[in-house]
Structure 1
């Protein structure tokens, strides 16, 4: 496990030149020089070199073991310590989490200041009257109110020094009237919030039995904020979906394979009123669904043309074989073989796990990995199922995936007799098609068409391609790549990228994969209920626009009758500029286009219906979002977005997610961000409330969140039930607290006025001491913990928009209710004073 909080295994391995150092004695005469970068907080980067036996070898994150990480599949290691103490990456990343306070707490501070001013005011008023009456108290050398003056007092009731007596009375009054300030309020609220958090954690209806994970309120400061949420900003993958990828379709050599129906296709058919019968369309042909076979996790491809070795009878069987081999080789997975020779995989992403599982099910099993080789065992399609052929590929280089490259490649050498050097590559269609060789585009048009169909079906796609390298070309690349890796310069990563870019060209297209990430259970119903409650939902996803729109319909984010306002840089003049123009002119024209589309959208919203935002949905792509978030545009974009019931931001980066969240907070609305991965951390920390989903991608989002849940559907009960209860309980409790303290303080003040502001309390000392601590503490706390104006069933069934109190504390239940409470308090003050 690594420090990033993710649960997948990270490959850590020694350099090949030191792999023979196995025993203690091997280190007796060891001489090495390690040079590396200065300490920094980046967990995913490490630049260094090791001089050993007269050679300089590059060091990467694969050779770096981080403090506080845990080793798996390794009994012990030998290593050299390079950073200690505060120089380690775990200490470099040890920053204080952002402090979050609820709006009620902030409003309560102002009320406390108001009560403090009231305390000063009435104390000053009583002292002035006391000074005036004390000065007029001396008549004919005798005190009129002699009974107020203590025997040994020379100052407090001295008519000759009335100003000083008045000042002394001011100090007495401040201590006497201090009950106006509810000193125990903050402590009581903290106790109530902790108990509320316990009830949230123990709610059986928010417990996920499959993962054995309950809801966990990691902080109790924001319980009442849950009842005021106006906008939810959500990730898609792993949040709305399960993040459990299934290999469901593929396009090989221009032919589409896979007959399974995706959830998005079902939703599209339902939306169009077209029933899904026994026949479905696959690759332009209508095929009968094949008989159900036992389900394999990660694999749901159903097509008799390539299953069970039948691919050998297809016209392009060589291309199909290379496609399957690429799936089995081009990855960074780790195989684990048990006693029964069954192989399981540890992958860095669910996508990669789905690929190697698909290759295994299709007869090309990834079996073993070492530092320098990959072994796959191929099932002979012409022989019995149990007959395998083991093929050992020499692993020469791994060109790892990055968000900027958007592809990954491996360079391997085939076993003899072929002995060819092959580059296998997979990546996004936007970067792979531009790298194809002129003679490698045979199936390009058909593959593009299939990719568009897969995207429309809500599937995640990757393009697969390869090329054969000759010895000289590879040697030149290897030298350039090695030089870049041992470079200690600041642009080391750029040099490595350039070296990889030089070899990942002139590729031959094999096809494309399509994996499905199914929606979590109950997501459409949850989103529909939240929309009924008046909560706006924004989805920030890395998917392309077509995929995001279709998934939006599948999860009820987009509904029939909604007017879609789409902002995208697809105008012909922009496309022409991108092909021929310089960067400055492209940026200027793109920004103007985005501003124009935003202004058109703002004009469009009121003309189509000013009374409701329910019929509008805003959809914006990643390029447009970059310009929409610039300082001179972002508030216009916000003005348009807040008028829409749903917003989808496509192709958004982690930084853009955080910036969008920060922008929404400018609308003074309570924002809730929900995500499950490391790329959602910035968004969770920016939002008023961060909710992390403890899913497949690990625990980093959970560690950065305020509340952790196991499934998105639990958000419905968290907001509409616990949010409503907590907000109302805290609001009423605060009003109750102020009510009892002010009532008590006013009766003391009235008695003081009646008793010539003598400084004598109306109650005995024991009553004064126990009033807040004993007599009135438990009822207020019980109200804050147990009060329910409606049951949980009613919260979920009634139109929750009418139940959620989204007003601040002065208007909890409306300003009229607060004024009634204020008037009632004054009536009771006078009643207590007159009759008691």
Structure 2
């Protein structure tokens, strides 16, 4: 399906932006220098034996690389029963109940074997059903991933949609904006003329800032579907490995060899952002991809409570053995000394379980009977209750409205219920930086221009600190007026911290929480330092690498920024009356509402 007539090309040459000038220099050194020398010696040696014939299934198929099908389940139809049984009898209590169930089949058991076997079968069966249900959910999630669609070159310059699981090494794919990459790809070209694309790697490393990837200069002409009709190339690179930040390989194209590095590799499960589309060729598929190389088999996790219960079972079992041993010794002594005198019991007809001539053997049989009889000291019902509670807890977690993300529409998912109770035992959180624990959403709240502070709002941290200090004051019976100072603007001031407690709340704007009438609605023009404020606003609107996207239905503008900071600055500039709305190869255009300038002016020429 040819798209050359309908494709709209983006005319921004990103290498002309100062932000990417150093990046371009590195790429030219690696790509435009012609045949590569760095890393060439390693390719073809041990650990670097992978060969990818791009767009050539006839040569690629004999190499028999694995498919793109992935699975993260713990069990399959064959292994479920033996593995699940093994997991259940890792519990000390289940081993004890299994032993008593076996002994209940012998004559020494004081009651019916059903009373011992039925509870054990119920507990083990319930736990296995829970394990099977959770693993079935993993299987369904794997099927959703494997059945995603991606546009794949099927020959003669035509692309058609294919399931992810059907992709093969060497296939050429077309990935569009906000789609995940189906496998590890070599970037060939993008919607930008310089072959740059933005990639979000949050699923790989947790980072929400966008990474910049760039194709080789030699593949930039591959910008249309039809250009792949006669495309042929060979990639020789490293074997599958778990290193996310390294890649070594060569790209043989048009009788030239070019070095490849991580800046041209698009990893599976990362997402294409701020770029209309990219073309890429599949290098690693399925469990050969780097993200799957980093994943491990689903472990059988056990909570600290379950481990502590095992310790308690050991203690109870020790007590049980001591009680049974004392009872058995007493029984053997009574059998030897007193049973011959108890004529009404007819000791001459006694069996081996209570034979006065062999009291030691009778004591051993009684020990087994006592272990079964006193076995209720170890409560099997406790495990039944715990399993039921865990299943219900997982259900409540999945339905918890307080853990619902309105932005994505996703709820919490308890993929395994074995560790539910661990959530309530967290007492220390170690974090590397702010974005790990926060939403990584930037709000423009305050600013300082020419030494003057603007913005009377307060952050959530300030409000939380004020409330905490207020609650501490209540605990120590300190008069509230000594801490809080109420003003007429329905705001509360606490040691230089202001926050509004009024009920008149303005409609919120994502990324903009600024409140100060001195700068809003063009009032900044009346300030003594208005020229400095004008320069400040223009800097906010011009100094960035964001891309404006106009909603044709509403006319509103959304900004695709590399970081949340840039997006917050642009939203703030727009609210102050400086709206960035267009970018070309060399210029940025801004609408100014409260100046004598033209409505649309060219403000900045970006030098190379």
With normalisation by structure 2, the TM-score equals 0.48
Higher helix share: 1
